[in-house]
Chains A and B, each alone.
Chain A
Amino acid sequence: MNEIAISARDLSLTYRVRKSLFRSANVRALNKVSFDVYAGETLGIIGRNGSGKSTLLRVLAGIYQCDSGELTISTNSISLMTLSLGFDPVLTGRANAVFGGMLLGFSHQQVLSVLGSIKDFSGLKDAFEVPVKTYSSGMLSRLAFSLAIILSPDIMLLDEVLSVGDQEFKEKAYDKMLEKISSTQTTVFVSHSLEEVEKICDRALLIDDGVVLASGKPTEISKEYRKLLL
């Protein structure tokens, strides 16, 4: 068994939604969530909308602080990969790629050194040099995915990133993901596609109402999830 890359113990988080100056409503997003992620493995997280998956990824990425619990991560190189990396519509794909890469924690030089690969993988060609306000949603997804996959940190936290672009790019993105995942990359992967989770992940976690209901082999966890949906 590889060493532990992420150790989560009893993570709890409750949103206090302000309704007025003196009133607020509590919405529990995570309730004593515990699990481990081993170095080099791909852990899939599945669950219904509002089950706490995205909140959990934000906690792992260090964006949210939990109300209680203990989180230990073996590296500082951990980033949440989303499909719209804060792109500025007025700026070119190239300029946005530079800023997006730096937001993921990479240095200016590191991002500049892989810009050519990002441009090639995205297949945007000359469109890489024009403002992204002219891009279709598929082109935006291509740029964001290429940036995330080429500049991967030690631990990647992926939130539904495989639903990208047209069929041709989707297949290309899927192959690249598999290539990454079969290497030493540690990945936590949130998806609604059970098929993807079964194919890509080594283990899976089922979350509902902020509670871990089950963890284990992706095929078994998928069955549990289907039962939950009935």
Chain B
Amino acid sequence: MRDSASHLISLLGVKIAMNLRAEATKNQLGYAWWLLEPILETAVFYLVFGIFLSGGTENFIAFLLTGLIPWTWFSRSVSNSMMSLKNASWLLNNFRLNPVFFPLVELGQDAFKQLATFGFLLSFLFLYGVEPADSWIWLPGVMLLQMLLVASIGCCVAAFIPLLEDLKYLIATTLLATMFASGIFYDPQVLVTAQWTDIYYLNPVASLLQLYRDVLMYGKNPEIVYVRNVMVWTLVFSLLATVILNYFTKRYARLIVE
């Protein structure tokens, strides 16, 4: 029973719900922050890029948000799950728990909060004048694709950190580099020269953001090349995470105290 997948899923459900409730009760405005946070971020970007710098690209704020909101989900989830195993020393040393539980709790919490954020994104796009298109039905599919990518990378970094904590600096730098190399603030289809396009989109986040923009802004169905790029990386990171987590399952508790 205790080592079964169903017990792990049930434990995850209870812990994620408890953490979300705990997080909300810490603040006076509680759950409202899930919506207020993206609204405030948007307001800042609107002020800087929409008014002071007046964009440069048509529909720049909509363009920016369709890149920024998925990116924020990605970077927060990877950062939050990175130290999840390392910080679970007490629980790992007192209970027999599958180590994948710890990054999955972080990833589950972040994914749940994204539902409110994406609801805001769709409302903003509509109010901003972006007409809802048939391609919007692909949004849950693209979000699922992102969830799988984020889960595979999140579990992978969480698995490696207890083995070599110094990696956290490398991961932070990689996240920063990925932010600039994913086309959040610029349109790669305009700025990246044709000879580099294929290589550029090997970055799974760049492919993912292109999928979001195609589906939400340009009324296009997802292109297979971008889907494939995301899926290949998801598979690579999933395999790596599975191998490391399985090998060290009964060793993490000791590794962390050592």
- Residues of chain A at the chain B interface (Cβ within 8 Å): 15-18, 24, 58, 61-65, 76-77, 79-80, 82, 85-86, 88, 90-91, 95, 98-99, 102-108, 131
Contact = CB atoms under 8 A, between A and B. Distances in A.
A152 to B, nearest CB: 14
Contacts of B7: 102, 105, 107
Given A80-B94, A99-B15, A65 B258 contact: no
A147 to B, nearest CB: 13
Interface in B3-43: 3, 7, 10-11, 14-15, 18-19, 21-22, 25-26
Given A17-B258, A76-B2, A58 B91 contact: no
B251 to A, nearest CB: 6
B147 interface: no
Interface residues of B, number: 28
A70 to B, nearest CB: 15
A174 to B, nearest CB: 23
A81 to B, nearest CB: 9
Contacts of A65: 250-251, 254
Contacts of B18: 88, 91, 95, 99
A191 to B, nearest CB: 18
Contacts, number: 77
Contacts of B19: 88
A63 B1 contact: no
Contacts of B1: 76-77, 105-107
Interface string B77-96: 00000000000001111111
Q: Which of B92, B96, B250, B257 has the most CB of A within 10 A?
A: B96
5 contacts: A15-B254, A58-B253, A62-B96, A82-B94, A103-B91
Contacts of B95: 63, 79-80, 86, 103-104
A82 B14 CA distance: 21
B258 A18 contact: yes
Contacts of B92: 63
